Amino acid sequence: MSKQGWGQGSGDQPPNQRAAKRRAVLEAGARLFNDQGYEQTSLEEIAAALSITKRTIYYYVDSKEDILFGCHQLGLEFLGETMQQAQDETLPVLDRVQLLIRGYCAWVSGDLGATIAMVREHSLSPERQAELRESKGRVDHQLRALIAQGIEEGVLRPCDPRLVTAAIFGALNWIPHWNRVASPVPQEEIAEQYLSLMMQGLMPDSQQA
């Protein structure tokens, strides 16, 4: 988007146009935060990435922290859609477990989702840290509940859902740390490989080849 396309103000812009420009600011911030670190990234660099001025950025965000928190919020919207799909009780519980893990892998592999794994929470205010932890806690508890249901139905081996969930998210959250390279592994391939390993570990011995 050219500098001219941004204009000098946002009050007279249609809401959808302003939202698109704010999203562009968030996405540019996410890329830079993930590539060079939150503390090392300036608003001037984010503006330069968009070919606009720092002053123009302030029409869409209040601060660098606002960009980071906006990245988290926007990313969690995508994850929320996956969580909603995984609540479909007409699907077998194993399908719901795999749907949630596959969706999380896609989310954390993108710039917006990766900020959760790449940027420390202490960069946010205490209030925003609490809101972020609450959001992250919801997906954690959803996977725990699905694993517990699978154990109850006998399609998953007895285990501690809390520990299994921690191991799964630990592996998934590490993806952007090693896969932000010149030739990254496609996230679909990562998801299939990870799911194969995870599900083999969760399946009862009687159901394994």
Among 15, 36, 57, give the residue marking a domain's end: 57
Residue-level pLDDT at 208? 55
* CA–CA dist 56, 21 (Å, integer): 11
Q: Which CATH number covers residue 41?
A: 1.10.10
Q: Report whether 47 contacts 57 (CB < 8 A).
A: yes
Burial (0-12, 13-18, 19+ Cβ within 10 Å), 164 = buried
- 26 and 110 within one domain: no
Question: Does one domain contain both 83 and 53?
Answer: no
Of 57, 79, 102, at which residue does a domain stop?
A: 57
Residue 83's φ and ψ, nearest 5 degrees, are -60, -40
Does residue 41 contact residue 29 with C-beta atoms inside 8 Å? yes
Please give the pLDDT value at position 11: 56
Question: Which residues lie below 8 Å from residue 55, measured CB to CB, with a gap of 6+?
Answer: none
How many angstroms separate the CA atoms of 141 and 161, rounded? 9
Is 63 among the domain residues?
A: no
pLDDT for the residue numbered 121: 81
Spell out the per-residue pLDDT of the chain, length 209, in tens: 444 467 555 556 777 888 899 999 999 999 999 999 999 999 999 999 999 999 999 999 999 999 999 998 888 888 888 999 999 999 999 999 999 999 999 999 999 889 988 888 888 999 999 988 898 899 999 999 999 999 999 999 999 999 999 999 999 999 999 999 999 999 999 999 999 999 999 999 766 54
The verdict on 82 and 169 lying in the same domain is yes
Q: Is residue 180 part of a domain?
A: yes
| Residue 131 within a domain | yes
Range of the domain at 179: 70-204
Residue by residue, DSSP assigns 49-94 as HTTS-HHHHTTT-SSHHHHHHHHHHHHHHHHHHHHHHTT-TTS-HH
